[in-house]
Chains A and B, each alone.
Chain A
């Protein structure tokens, strides 16, 4: 049972490039989330989904997009990378609201 799997683990992007952070879960959870973690700032919610085909904005959605075509997958898209998007990104899933299983994270640096 893999839980929540994120790829890649590390990535360096140049300003203006785009990329997709992949997230998949094998627990059949309806709820999935994307957070970013900056030093001393805790976790901020970027986007979330309550089921396939349904997504909504969190606290810090600007510069990102998501899709949820299946229950298992919830990719996060960065279209025009900016230095402010340098962060550690965590995907999470849960079967109900309030708590979550987290992936191992993706460390992204934009230069």
Chain B
């Protein structure tokens, strides 16, 4: 099965600085890597994803990079704003049944 590890568990950044969250996965057959943002009291929401045929994908202030050789992928948030404060989860599909395995989450706090 897929084992997804996520670091760090908490991250505090000054408003305007960048935030980086890293995840590693174990199943080399995984080919799809979504990132979810969970605000307080709400369900996780898909914010960006990347497929294994590309190394980087950007959407305004967020970007995701993928290193298939090393089996890790990262979320980058630039010019952080208070509304970026949330818990972020990475995920990867299990090759046996394609269901998502989630990382433990990173609590991001943006200080004003």
Contact = CB atoms under 8 A, between A and B. Distances in A.
Interface of B: 4, 6, 9, 32, 34, 36, 41-46, 49, 89, 93, 98-100, 102-105
A40 B34 contact: no
Contacts of B103: 42
A98 B100 contact: yes
A43 interface: yes
B93 A97 contact: yes
Contact of B46 (A4, A58, A99): A99
Contacts of A102: 36, 43-45
Contacts, number: 52
Contacts of B89: 42-43
Interface string A98-109: 111111110000
State the main secondary structure of chain B at its contact with A: strand
A105 B34 contact: no
B43 A40 contact: no
Given A48-B99, A102-B36, A105-B42, 5 more contacts: A41-B104, A42-B4, A99-B100, A101-B46, A102-B43
B42 A104 contact: yes
Interface residues of A, number: 21
A90 B89 CA distance: 14
Interface of A: 4, 33, 40-45, 48, 58, 90, 92, 97-105
A52 B105 CA distance: 32
B46 A42 contact: no
A97 B44 contact: no
B95 to A, nearest CB: 11
A79 to B, nearest CB: 24
A43 B99 contact: no
Contact of B44 (A40, A48, A58, A90): A90
